[in-house]
Structure 1
Amino acid sequence: MMQMLSLKKVSVSKRRSSRWRMTCGITKQHGNNNKPEYLCSGFFIPKLMVNVDYIVVGGGYAGLFFAHQLIKNKKTFVIFTGDRKSASRISAGIVNPVVLKKFTTFWLAKEQIEALHRTLNEISGYTRENYLIRENIQRIFHDENEKDLWLQKSESEELNPYLNPYFKQLDVILNPFGTGTVDQSARLDVNAFFKGLNEYLSAHDHVHEEAFDYTALQDHNYRKFTFKHIVFCEGMGVRKNPFFAEIPVIPNKGHHLKVSLSERLHHQFTLKKKHFLFPLDEKFHYYGGTYDPNERPDEVDAHATQQLRDGLSEFYPHAFEVEEVNFALRPTVKDRRPILGSHPRQPNYYVFNGLGARGILNGCYFSEILFEHIEHGKPLIPEVDLNRFTVKHL
């Protein structure tokens, strides 16, 4: 004989609580209705789960450009940006198709520049902001030999679109051999980019600013979320990730200065000799950044700061004040290629890392590559596939 279910009267306070819901089809909460309600004894409906297509972990270039792919393709998602300031947020934002030490270009430069312009136009479509500052890089020549090499390289099919053969002579700074213009170069307004995209994501309930808790992750569930795929875009934070801690990313420490110049520059160019100099606003300029592949303490390095002071003094012969010294750890890879792929035992867990010093270009271009791989099974480019490494402990 079936046992009868006992009934309990529920107090008004519990009826008003969002935790109490209809059980056994007997009754349900109706806002502020004060009539008695009943629950089946011993039964309680748990908190409802939220279904999303994706969870994205990380709020740097990799995370935000991948989030854009999800917006563009109308996928549901949440993004955990964490409380740690990423290297992306204090980056220079330089968009540069040329290696300015040797006057060469790099792998997929043309494709990446084109993808960036297309993607930023798409982002501007929903944030209603333009984030690209179309001011060229002016490379300050060290001597006549560099000018000759520039002219020689500018005649090649590969570099002709980028190395302008007509030189400039700029005032205020020391440039006795002139400067060369890098065509198709620009810079991203980094602060505006992160502010604008995060405001848009927050307004549409995508953003969770707390740190991601790996212990709460199980298969397709994370706390109140049920998801199809999770993409970890954590930079050097990946070393704390129990699923991808062993991927071979190397921290490259970079410093930059925020300076005020006593003698105003009469242009908005990005100047480059040893490092980059460009205006942040009417008062301050950015100067940096350094490259240090050695794992040094997580603090400002005096030698790097002095290196930057000396570098700026080489071509800016006027007084300047250092207002701030900032640094971050770039996630780099020995072969200078990003790392994309899925976990061998959790195929719906993905990593997107190793963007290096070209975080904007790599983040933009490979976010679409990764999305197409996840959604449509398009094979990853072998050069960026996680499987190119033998990672023993994944």
Structure 2
Amino acid sequence: MENVDYIIVGDGYASLFFAHQLIKNNKSFVVFSEEKESASRVSAGIINPVVLKKFTTFWKAQEQIDFLKETLKEIEKYTGQNYLIDAPIHRIFHDENEQQLWLKKSSNDELVHFLDQNFTHLDLAQNDFNSGKVNQSARLDVKGFFVGLFDFLENHKHLLKEKFNYSDINTSDHTYKNYQYKNILFCEGMGVKNNPFFSEIPVNPNKGHHIKVKLSQTLPENITIKKKHFLFPIDDERYFYGGTYDREQLHHEIDSSAVEQLTNGLKEFYPEDFSVEEVNFGFRPTVKDRRPIIGRHHKHHDMYVFNGLGARGILNGCYFSRSLYDYIEKGIPLHQEIALERFTS
């Protein structure tokens, strides 16, 4: 029997950022990964402090941005890789009214550090009303992040590439197969619906498609362009464009209507020819109040859940991993806006 401080079930942003907290604090743990294409692994990796439909920000945006940069520097020390891509978002304006709204909100205390007051005209893109730059925005190298973290976990015997079987948990003895555990953390995204301990938490699937395209004329800068969706380069030839939001068509197949939506959206501002090389989709776990769900099982006090990260999986997963660690290890209460108890009490 092997003793571990933690068993982590799941392999998305919640799991890996919490694993980082354990690495920092010299805790023993194993991560169970089915190696599926989760919503995290096919995500765009956008790091964005602004809601670009309304030019507003969100709860703890600056704190989350700062903490992510700090965390990625810590991760770089043991993986040897920097996964932060300095490629700021440029939001194409639809008309003069959006320009004026941007300028008005850029003087707001919450947005002054995010909305650049100097507009930019983008080459090779239709942007008659120019674009606004989102300061402190960036991207995560999603593929590099998962490859690097998984390699580290595997090399240090923290990774188990197998399906977790709930029926093998012995809640009385605190064992799972040949592991004696202190805590189990479930970070399963929409997979939580199959979890007998936390299946009732109110997370809802939001299906997101993106396409990988080959542009006939490449864009001159490594930036992220946003109009309806995000466009940015992923290698020397291909670009990422996405993603959609769909709460209705939840089957596990590609939706032709979503692909059409994406191709039409790209045509709105990219006037040259392009070809669709690949289509992917995933199911984001979302919550009605747009806050993560974090907490302890009401009966089994060594079981925890970390879910509902939504479209801001990177920022939410990174920032609230520390909140969860401090809750478990130091007894620091969770903020009521993220606590599981807001739905169960």
Q: Same fold (TM over 0.5)?
A: yes
Counterpart in the other structure of 2:21: 69
**How many angstroms does 1:170 deviate by?**
1.1
Structure 1 runs of 4+ off > 2 angstroms?
none
Q: Could you tell me which of 309, 314, 338 is aligned with 1:384?
A: 338
Q: Find the counterpart in structure 2 of residue 34 from structure 1.
A: none
- Cα deviation for residue 84 of structure 1 reads 2.4
1:211 matched residue in structure 2 = 163
* Structure 2 counterpart SS, 1:121: helix
Checking the alignment, whether the CA contact within 8 Å between 1:52 and 1:227 is kept in structure 2 is yes
Secondary structure at 2:322 match in 1: helix
> Is the 8 Å Cα contact of residues 284 and 310 (structure 2) preserved in structure 1?
yes
**How far apart, CA to CA, are the structure 2 residues paired with 1:85 and 1:244?**
22
Does the CA contact (< 8 Å) of 2:56 and 2:111 recur in 1? Answer: yes
Distance in 2 separating the partners of 1:247 and 1:323: 37
CA distance in 2, matches of 1:323, 1:89: 18
Q: TM-score w.r.t. structure 2 length?
A: 0.98
The equivalent residue for 2:133 is 181
Cα deviation, residue 366, structure 1: 0.5
Q: Report the alpha carbon displacement of residue 295 of structure 1 after superposing the two structures with TM.
A: 5.0
Q: Return the offset for 1:135.
A: 1.2
Amino acid at match of 1:138: H
1:84 aligns with 36
3-state secondary structure, aligned to 2:317: helix
1:121-136 map, 5 Å: 121-136=73-88
Aligned equivalent of 2:185, options 216, 231, 238: 231
Give 1:390 shift.
2.7
Q: 1:270 corresponds to which residue?
A: 224
Matched residue type, 2:253:
E
The DSSP-based 3-state class of the residue aligned with 2:122 is coil
Pairing 1:191-206 to 2, within 5 Å after superposition: 191-206=143-158
8 Å contact kept, 2:205–2:250: no
Alignment gaps of 5+ in structure 1: 1-48
C-alpha RMSD of the superposition = 0.8
C-alpha displacement of 1:133: 0.3
Quote how far apart the aligned CAs of 1:264 are: 1.3
Letter in 1 for 2:200: E
For residues 116-195 of structure 1, the aligned pairs below 5 Å read 116-195=68-147
Cα distance in 2 for partners of 1:209, 1:258 equals 28
1:251 and 1:295 in contact (8 A); partners too:
no
Give unpaired runs (5+ residues) of structure 2.
none
The one of the two structures with greater contact order (alpha-carbon pairs below 8 A, sep at least 6) is 2
Q: Give the match's secondary structure for 2:310.
A: coil
- Count of aligned positions: 343
- How many Å separate the matches in 1 of 2:19 and 2:277? 34
Q: 1:304 aligns with which of 258, 265, 273?
A: 258
Indicate the residue corresponding to 2:283 in structure 1.
329
Q: Deviations over 1:257-312 (max 9, x none)?
A: 00000011100000000000000010100000001122521110010010000000
* Alpha-carbon separation, structure 1, partners of 2:248 and 2:338: 23
Cα deviation code 1:220-241 (max 9, x no counterpart): 1000100000000000000111
Q: Alignment partner of 1:82: what SS?
A: coil
How far 1:207 sits from its partner (Å)?
0.3
Question: Aligned with 1:325: secondary structure?
Answer: strand
| 1:341 aligned counterpart, secondary structure | strand
C-alpha separation in 1, matches of 2:287 and 2:58: 15
**Residue number in structure 1 paired with 2:12:** 60
Give the Cα–Cα distance (whole angstroms) in 1 for the partners of residues 249 and 143 of structure 2. 27
